[in-house]
Structure 1
Amino acid sequence: MGFQFQFQPVLARMDALLDGLWLTLQLAGTGILLGALLGILLAMLRGLSPRPVRLLVDSYVELVRNTPFLVQLLIVFFGVPSLGLRLSAEQAALAAIILNLGAYATEIVRAGIESVHKSQIEAGLSLAMTRWQVFRHVVLAPALARVWPALSSQFVLMMLSTSVCSFISVQELSAQAANVESETFRSFEVYILVTAIYLGLALVLRGVLAGLGLILFPPGSGLGRLRGQAGR
């Protein structure tokens, strides 16, 4: 007996998939913004702080980067309430996303910071710039320009990783797809559609990040040339 695609039952439950898509966008958007800020902050602390602070940052980065995101998610969801802080499934998922992305972003930004030659820092100091001004304009801006393609790829990966949040009953796109599949029994059709949605999300996010890179690091400028060299 030949298999026949039947998308009608799945499309009839498109409202559930759109609800899941909206929650995925919320988790990914907020998580990427806050995770990137956390990564930049920790990379700055690592570069400007005394050794004990650097060791704490390095320990956090290594712990997160060498453990599965699912385990981190379960620790936040089940472990934090035992400490007296109640979190909903969505709040726990967002916290885990921020902590995970923050560690990867810290390491990526750190690599960019270390690529800035010391002579440039000395030149900035010789112009009577404060250390903060030197770090912001001479170190951080070129560092971000150099690592923007790597950061963008990490942001896309984090957006796709939101599907793991279904393990703690967060009703994002993957969880809603499982609900629709259990109602319609059209597994193949459901996951073909969900795959297409995730693919579209990834391509759109890559385009948005590429456009943002053009705004932050305009072509023709020194920062733009650094971004272009890193993207090759």
Structure 2
Amino acid sequence: MPIRLDLATVRANGEVPPLLRGLVRPPTVRAAAPAAAVPVTQQLAGLSAEDQRGLLLDLVHSHVATVLGYPADQAIEPTRGFLDLGFDSLTAVELRNGLTAATGLRLPATVIFDYPTSDDLAEHLRDRLAPAAPPLPALAELDRFEAALAADGLDPAVRDQIAGRLQKLLAGWQPTEADGVVDLLEEASDEEMFAFIDNELGL
């Protein structure tokens, strides 16, 4: 006697009898969505320059291993050239594409030729992703002033004018309790003033 089977109910129960496995497909198990990766720029934030470079070197090495089919735990010498590792124009583009996706940077197809080692490439990525903070304007001006003072051929009269201006400038910056230091600066010779700048201010 024919029997009508409710295959949907059998499938929903999870456990399918061996006799019916040819008729009932097991329920589809959906994989959980992978957790969103933390952007590289966020990973770099707050790290020292050395740690930033280490993180990016690991990133480069992981993509190198993927492209060349190396085991994940295989050590890669940071100073060994990409061409020596076996890269060609095709795998160079694959590496570029992987690093572009991972970092969000627009990298040229010639990136392994422009930066021929993992070390070089990681440093380039760090320069792009975590550039050094620009110096404060006042400090930048002091750097320029230091370079001007270091120039050869300063006229003695100009040196006297510079020393006088520096004495007034330093006197205005000294706290009131440092009158003794101010007095010393006011009484200092030109040579002593320049020595003070070198030794105390590091200019």
Shorter-normalised TM-score: what interval? under 0.3
Of structures 1 and 2, the one scoring higher in RCO (CA 8 A, sep 6+) is 1
Q: With structure 2 as the length reference, what TM-score do the two structures score?
A: 0.24
Structure number with the higher helix fraction is 1
